[in-house]
A and B are shown apart, each in its own frame.
Chain A
Amino acid sequence: MTYQWQTVLGYLPQYLHAALLALRITVLAFILATVCATVAALARNSSVGMLRLVAGVYVEVIRNTPVLLQIFIVFFALPSFGLHFHAVTAGVLALGINVGAYMCEVFRAGIASVTRGQTEAAQILGLSRRQTFVFVVVPQALRNVYPATVNNLLQVLLGTSLLTAIAVPEITGVAIVINARTLLFVQVFLMALLLYLVLSNLLSLAAAVLGRVIFRPPLPIGFVGPRLPRFKRPGRPERAVVS
């Protein structure tokens, strides 16, 4: 083992500490994102025009401005309005609100992908609009959006890297410090890279296992993981996915 690697591996405790923090932030921000996305998706599909407008503005503004700017706004600008957050909290808030906007669109697509035939069948059987939504649409939408939602989770994880800009001691931030001390940038940042790869694969695996547990019939094995950008193939109608 080379001397450089030995030195860098000596910092393993700091790296792991940072990785755990990144993981914690990821989970918390993801939960927040899910809440935001659910509320926004319902709002955008509601019949109340004002709700649709507000949610629409939220989604469009967030998705068309950089997340780094949003992080700065939460951390530096909100204090002007009396809202002071610690860096980690600000990070969770900003990332949650940001990914929530993306997840909102995923949820809406999921709901829309449940075919009209499903709701018609439910209607004829005598189920009310609410019952149809809760017992027929949502379970299918959930299955349809699951892979994309896992992608959002990974999106949050990679987003934690930006929090180094507000001095959060997560992986990237810690790596910068260690690099300043050792000047071994190759090993230092390779180590960081490895940690991110390990974490994202761990999260994907956990999501795959969770998917098999909650969904019956089970989603096929290769269904979860970092996915290709969502592709609409020509001529293929958007329909509910049956495994």
Chain B
Amino acid sequence: MNTDLIIESLPQLLHGLAVTVGLSVAAIAGSTVIGLLVATARTSKLPVISQLGRAYVEIFRGSPLPITLLFIYFGAVYYLGYSLNLFVAATVGLSLYHGAYVAEIFRSGIEAVHVGQREAAQVLGLSNSQVFFSVVLPQTRRIVMPPLVGQYISLVKDTSIAFLIGTVELMKVGQSIVDRTGQSVPIYLSVAVLYFIICYPLSVWVRRSDRKVVSQ
């Protein structure tokens, strides 16, 4: 095991990790916003809007992330020329893609809050928006967190796919070191460890909260 190589490459890898984290945070924000919008659309009473929301979800969940990224990449190149920012392109792609999944999580969360609760609140005389904000939303937040964080973990791992459009995140950095030195095992191992360090604690948190939600 070439530990010298690992130590040498650490600065580069950590730089890649920083980009990965930055990408993740940006895309988490983006996908959450999109997810809220789409979930709202899906639960809307207007058939046109809810159908649009449904179409969005079907399309982005039925196709692989690389296709979305490639669309954005070539689209950006076409309209902006090669001055496109790969980080932004990747963020947009990840946000659009994961936004569809986040939307479904929000939608299920809203629907999972027992219908009876909503009816009970309405009977008590609360207006529709009061019902939504004081009764449904607080409980939605609790239910929604575990799967939502689970989705964010997937997002973090999916930042590696931005590799395919050239974004210099951890995967790309690692691969370029491997290409340069031919030493795949120590580098891949390091890259794996770095991803693991971020994702595993989050996974443990999800499992623990999932159990808490069920027991309530």
Complex contact flag A–B (Cβ < 8 Å) = yes
Chain A residues engaging chain B, CB cutoff 8 angstroms = 60-61, 63-69, 72-73, 76-77, 80, 158-162, 164-165, 172, 175-176, 179, 185-186, 189, 192-193, 196-197, 200-201, 226, 228-235, 238
Residues of B within 8 A of A160 (CB): 64
The 8 Å CB contact of A231, one of B143, B151, B163, B164, is B143
Pick the most buried of B64, B109, B142, B196: most chain A CB atoms within 10 A of its CB: B64
Residues of A within 8 A of B63 (CB): 158, 192-193, 196-197
Residues of A within 8 A of B188 (CB): 69, 72-73, 76-77
A226 to B178, CA, bound (A): 37
Give the size of the chain B interface in residues (CB under 8 angstroms).
54
Q: Of the 9-residue stretches B44-52, B65-73, B85-93, which lies at the interface with chain A? A: B65-73
Q: Of the 9-residue stretches B5-13, B120-128, B153-161, which lies at the interface with chain A? A: B153-161
Decide if A61 touches B143 in the complex (CB within 8 Å): no
Pick the most buried of A158, A165, A228, A231: most chain B CB atoms within 10 A of its CB: A231
Residues of B within 8 A of A238 (CB): 214
- Chain B nearest CB, measured from A124 CB (Å): 28
The digit string for B155-193, where 1 denotes a CB below 8 A from any CB of A, is 001111101100000010011001000001100100110
Decide if A164 touches B171 in the complex (CB within 8 Å): no
Decide if B199 touches A65 in the complex (CB within 8 Å): yes
Please name the 6 residue pairs, one residue from A and one from B, whose CB atoms are nearest each other, closest first: A161-B64, A185-B74, A66-B160, A64-B199, A66-B157, A77-B184
Q: Of the 9-residue stretches B25-33, B100-108, B129-137, which lies at the interface with chain A? A: B100-108
The 8 Å CB contact of A69, one of B104, B143, B160, is B160
A164 to B216, CA, bound (A): 45
A127 to B62, CA, bound (A): 44
Q: Beyond the given A230-B147, A234-B139, please list 4 additional residue pairs across the A-B interface where CB-CB is below 8 A.
A: A65-B196, A65-B199, A72-B178, A234-B214
The 8 Å CB contact of B171, one of A66, A179, A201, is A66
Can you report 29 A-B residue pairs in the complex whose CB atoms are below 8 A from each other? A60-B200, A63-B199, A64-B200, A66-B161, A68-B160, A69-B192, A69-B195, A77-B188, A80-B184, A80-B185, A162-B64, A164-B164, A165-B164, A172-B64, A185-B71, A185-B74, A185-B75, A189-B70, A189-B74, A193-B63, A196-B64, A197-B59, A197-B63, A229-B147, A231-B112, A231-B143, A231-B147, A232-B143, A234-B214
- Chain B nearest CB, measured from A9 CB (Å): 18
Query: What's the dominant secondary structure at chain B's contact region?
Result: helix
Q: Does B40 contact A (CB under 8 A)?
A: no
A81 to B64, CA, bound (A): 31
Query: What's the dominant secondary structure at chain A's contact region?
Result: helix
Residues of A within 8 A of B101 (CB): 229
Residues of B within 8 A of A233 (CB): 112, 114, 143
- Chain A nearest CB, measured from B108 CB (Å): 5
A160 to B121, CA, bound (A): 48
When C-beta atoms are compared, the residue in chain A nearest to B104 turns out to be: A228
When C-beta atoms are compared, the residue in chain A nearest to B107 turns out to be: A228
A65 to B198, CA, bound (A): 9
When C-beta atoms are compared, the residue in chain A nearest to B179 turns out to be: A76
Q: Does B213 contact A (CB under 8 A)?
A: yes
The 8 Å CB contact of B64, one of A158, A179, A231, is A158
Given A172-B70, A231-B143, A232-B214, A68 contacting B112 (CB threshold 8 A): no
A63 to B204, CA, bound (A): 12
Residues of B within 8 A of A73 (CB): 184, 188, 192
Residues of A within 8 A of B213 (CB): 232, 234
A47 to B74, CA, bound (A): 54
A52 to B162, CA, bound (A): 35
- Chain A nearest CB, measured from B30 CB (Å): 19
Q: Does B208 contact A (CB under 8 A)?
A: no
